[in-house]
Amino acid sequence: MHITTVFRDAFEILLPRCCLVCERPLVRQSLCGGCIPQARLHSSDLTAWSQLPFRAVHSIWEYRGRERRYITAMKYKPSISLARRAGKELARALESINLPKHFDALVAIPSSRKSFRSRLFNQAEVLAQEIAKQQQLPCAPHALRHLGYAAAQASLTPRKRLSNVKQAFAANPKAVQGSRILLIDDVLTTGATVASAAHSLLAAGALSIEVAVVARSEAWQTRLALLEKDFSAPQAG
């Protein structure tokens, strides 16, 4: 276990007991009933969009209301406990897909250096680790490297996110060659981040990519044409 993870866990344990999302005082639990999202697997088949670098998206929450507040607390307070809980929920929901039958490895979207310094953990990696434990599917921690953003994605308009994320990732051919990859991230908003990462993985020799996230925005599917145009799947051969 990474030493920063130990410190993060200890910090959360030593704090006065309160809800990790809304900070309401609690006696024993770490989340109040009003801040626990209900999980339901939602899968979108994208094979009709033949030039997209990923074939499907799986999620358990919509990115609004209590789900959005949960994600915000997880990322910006930040809280590794919330990331682990979300990972367990996502892993349970994905049991119906039988992941080991359809995928060879899990790949988490890597954090930028700036994000990792501020959180001391990568939330997508925590999610992937929880899925790996429950589904007996290996993680490929060195498959993808973050090269950095010109600006923080959360601060940009949807169109600017597309240009900002281009060339943001580099994939390791030795780790992904011929593999069916389930790409893991926390939130799908415009789809630019996962599209860029999936494009890099395919260019490095991955066989196919699907995406699993905790939450998805309501409008992300309206941007599929832009994603297909800007991140079309590399041609084989």
Q: What is the pLDDT of residues 111-158, one digit of tens each?
A: 877 776 777 889 999 999 999 999 999 999 999 999 876 666 566 666
Handedness of CA 35, 116, 182, 2 (dihedral sign): negative
- Amino acid code (one letter) for 139: C
Strand partners, 57: 44, 211
Q: What is the pLDDT of residue 149?
A: 67
Helices marked H in the chain: 3-14, 65-76, 80-93, 99-102, 113-119, 123-135, 158-165, 173-176, 192-203, 224-230
Q: From CA 237, how far away is CA 234, in angstroms rounded?
A: 9
Strands 42-45 and 56-59, bridge-based pairing: antiparallel
CA 144, distance to chain mean position in Å, is 13
Looking up tokens 């997209």 gives 52
- Residue 8 reports pLDDT greater than 60: no
Q: Mind listing the pLDDT tens digit for each residue in 162-214?
A: 677 778 899 999 999 999 999 999 999 989 899 999 999 999 999 999 999 99
Q: What is the pLDDT of residue 226?
A: 83
Enter the pTM of the model. 0.86
Q: What is the pLDDT of residue 235?
A: 65
Q: From CA 150, how far away is CA 133, in angstroms rounded?
A: 35
Handedness of CA 50, 175, 188, 93 (dihedral sign): positive
Q: What is the pLDDT of residue 158?
A: 62
Strand partners, 211: 57, 183
Q: What is the pLDDT of residue 151?
A: 60
Q: What is the pLDDT of residue 31?
A: 82
Q: What is the pLDDT of residue 219?
A: 85
Q: Mind listing the pLDDT tens digit for each residue in 61-74?
A: 999 999 999 999 99
Q: What is the pLDDT of residue 132?
A: 96
Q: Report the largest interatomic distance among the alpha carbons of the chain, rounded to a whole angstrom.
A: 60
Q: What is the pLDDT of residue 156?
A: 61
Joined together, the tokens standing for residue 156 give 């940009």
Residue-averaged pLDDT of the chain: 87
Who contacts 120 (Cβ-Cβ below 8 Å, separation ≥6)?
4, 5, 7, 8, 78
Joined together, the tokens standing for residue 129 give 């680790």
Strand partners, 94: none
- Residue 36 reports pLDDT greater than 80: yes
Q: Mind listing the pLDDT tens digit for each residue in 82-106?
A: 999 999 999 999 999 999 999 999 9
Q: From CA 119, how far away is CA 150, in angstroms rounded?
A: 19
Looking up tokens 């941007």 gives 223
- Residue 5 reports pLDDT greater than 60: no
Q: In the chain, where are the structural domains located?
A: 37-230
- Residue 161 reports pLDDT greater than 70: no
CATH ID of 37-230, from 3.30.930.10, 3.40.220.10, 3.40.50.150, 3.40.50.2020: 3.40.50.2020
